[in-house]
Amino acid sequence: MIALVLGLVLLGIFALRVSREPRRLGNGIVLLIALAFTIIGLMDSEDSSGLTFAVGVVIVLSPLLVLVLAGLLIANGVLMVRREGRRVANFLSFGLGLALIAPYVLFVVTLLLGSPWFAAAMASITLVVSYIGFLLLAFLLYSFVYLRLPYRRGMGAIVVHGSGLIGSRVPPLLASRLDRALRVYSAEITAGHRPLLVTSGGKGSDETVAEADAMAGYLIDRGLPETAVLREDRSTTTRENLLYTRNLLAQHGIAPRMVLVTSNFHALRTAILARRMGLDAAVVGSRTAPYYLPSAILREFAGILFEHKWTNALICLVLAALPILALLAIPSDPVWHEALRV
C-alpha cells in the first residue's frame, strides 16, 4: 500500500514537472521510478494475482528476453553497416548487443574461477551497466511521452533541421521532416496563424547546394508559398541550427516562439538543448525507418551521457567502487572467502 501511494505521489510530481517544463530528462527518471513503485503497489493489493503472474513470467523469462534482444541488436547492427556504411555510429546497436551478452559470459567465468576479486569486479561492472541501463530506459520512456505532448499554437516560426543531402537531393530522412513541417504549417494556417517556415542547414563538403536551399525547393514544389520560407544556410550542428535561427528571426522582427521539426529519435535531445539556450521552442518529431532507429536512439543517448559526462562518470566511479570496498571490509577469515567462492 505504501508503495502504491508513493507511486501515485511521484506520478503527480511528474505531471507537475511536465506542466512547468517538459524539456527535461529528469522528468523521465521521475516517471520511471513512479511506475516502478505503482506496479509494486498494485502487486501488493488485493485482486493482483493476474499482474503478479505477468510480472513473475517477465522476471523468469528476462534472461532469455535479454538474449533475444541482444540477437536482434546484433542483427540490426549488421543491417545498418550494410545499408549505411562502416561508420562508428552504425556499429552502436551491434556493440550494445555484445554488451548485453557480456554479463552472461562474465558470470560463467566467475563460476569457473571462483575468485572473490573477480566476483567483485563483475559486481562493479553490473552496477555500472545497470545505472546506464536505467538512464537509457528513462530516456526511451520519456522520449515516447514527449513526442505525444501537445504544443501551443501560434508559433512565430516552424524550423526544420537539416540532416544531410545526397548531392543536391533530399533523402528520405530529411523528406520525412519536411513533410511533417508541412503538416504543422497547415495546422497553424487552419488555426488562423501565419508562421514562417525556416529551413535550417548549411552546405556540407559532399553537397552541391546548401541544405536550406534544397529543403526550401522541396517545400515550394509541394505548394508552400515562397514568401513563407526563410532560409538559414550556415549551420552544421543542432546548436548552430538553433543559434543562427534565433538571430535570423530577430533580424526579421519575427516572434521568437517556434516549433522545431526534427526526426523522432532526435526530438527530446533537441528540446533539452533548446531549453538550455533559453529558447521558447517546442519540438515535434517525424517518422524514421525502423531499421535506422536503434543506432540513432543509441547515438542520441550517448550524446546526452556525454553532455553530463562528469556527473555520470562520478556516479559510475562510486558504483564501481562499492563491491570492492565491500570485499575489503569483509574479515580476512578464510571461511568468508570460501563462502564467496561457493
Cα dihedral 139, 264, 19, 259 sign: positive
Q: Is residue 337 pLDDT above 80, yes or no?
A: no
- 330 in any annotated domain: no
**Which one-letter amino acid corresponds to residue 64?**
L
Long-range contacts of 24-29 (CB under 8 A, 24+ apart): 24/272, 24/275, 25/138, 25/139, 25/142, 25/268, 25/272, 25/304, 27/142, 27/145, 28/138, 28/139, 28/141, 28/142, 28/143, 28/145, 29/135, 29/138
- 211 in any annotated domain: yes
d(CA 296, CA 292) in angstroms, rounded, equals 6
- Average pLDDT on 196-216 reads 89
The pLDDT value given to residue 62: 56
Q: What SS3 state is found at 206?
A: coil
User: Does residue 287 sit in the same domain as residue 161?
Assistant: yes
Q: Is residue 190 pLDDT above 80, yes or no?
A: yes
Structural domain of 32: 1-47
Query: Binning pLDDT at 50, 70 and 90, where does residue 124 land?
Result: confident
The pLDDT value given to residue 78: 84
* DSSP line for 5-49: HHHHHHHHHHHHHHHH----THHHHHHHHHHHHHHHHHHHSTT-H
Last residue of a domain, one of 47, 62, 85: 47
Q: Is residue 55 pLDDT above 60, yes or no?
A: no
- 88 in any annotated domain: no
196 or 42, higher pLDDT: 196
Query: Binning pLDDT at 50, 70 and 90, where does residue 45 land?
Result: low
- Average pLDDT on 210-228 reads 93
**Which one-letter amino acid corresponds to residue 10?**
L
Q: Nine-digit cell at 21?
A: 517544463
- b/e map 274-312, b = 16+ CB within 10 Å: beeeebebbbbbbebeeebbbbbbbbbbeebbeeeeeeb
Distance of CA 204 to the CA centre of its chain: 26
d(CA 22, CA 83) in angstroms, rounded, equals 35
Element (H, E) at 176: helix 172-190
Of the ranges 24-33, 48-57, 146-155, the best mean pLDDT one:
24-33
- 325 in any annotated domain: no
Q: Is residue 54 pLDDT above 80, yes or no?
A: no
101 or 88, higher pLDDT: 101
Query: Binning pLDDT at 50, 70 and 90, where does residue 292 land?
Result: confident
Q: Is residue 63 pLDDT above 80, yes or no?
A: no
The pLDDT value given to residue 324: 87
Element (H, E) at 299: helix 293-307
Q: Is residue 14 pLDDT above 80, yes or no?
A: yes
- 68 in any annotated domain: no
Query: Binning pLDDT at 50, 70 and 90, where does residue 4 land?
Result: confident
Q: Is residue 276 pLDDT above 90, yes or no?
A: yes
Instruction: Please check whether residue 173 is in contact with residue 163, taking contact to mean a CB–CB distance below 8 angstroms.
Output: yes
Percent of the chain residues past pLDDT 70, beyond the cut: 89
- 270 in any annotated domain: yes
Query: Binning pLDDT at 50, 70 and 90, where does residue 12 land?
Result: very high
Q: N- to C-terminal Cα distance for the chain?
A: 37
- What is the number of residues in the chain? 342
Query: To the nearest whole number, what is the mean pLDDT of the chain?
Result: 85
- 14 in any annotated domain: yes
User: Which parts of the chain are beta strand (E)?
Assistant: 157-161, 196-200, 229-232, 258-263, 281-286
d(CA 266, CA 285) in angstroms, rounded, equals 7
- Average pLDDT on 102-122 reads 77
The pLDDT value given to residue 287: 93
pLDDT tens digits, one per residue of 221-257: 999 999 999 999 999 899 999 999 999 999 988 878 8
Strand order in the sheet with 157-161: 229-232, 196-200, 157-161, 258-263, 281-286
- Pairing state between β 258-263 and 281-286: parallel
Query: Binning pLDDT at 50, 70 and 90, where does residue 60 land?
Result: low
- 141 in any annotated domain: no
pLDDT tens digits, one per residue of 72-81: 788 888 888 7
Query: Binning pLDDT at 50, 70 and 90, where does residue 333 land?
Result: low
d(CA 45, CA 186) in angstroms, rounded, equals 48
Q: Assign residue 196 the CATH number of its domain.
A: 3.40.50.620
d(CA 314, CA 222) in angstroms, rounded, equals 51
Tabulate helix, strand, coil % of the chain (nearest 5): 70, 10, 20
Q: How many independent structural domains does the chain possess?
A: 2
d(CA 321, CA 63) in angstroms, rounded, equals 26
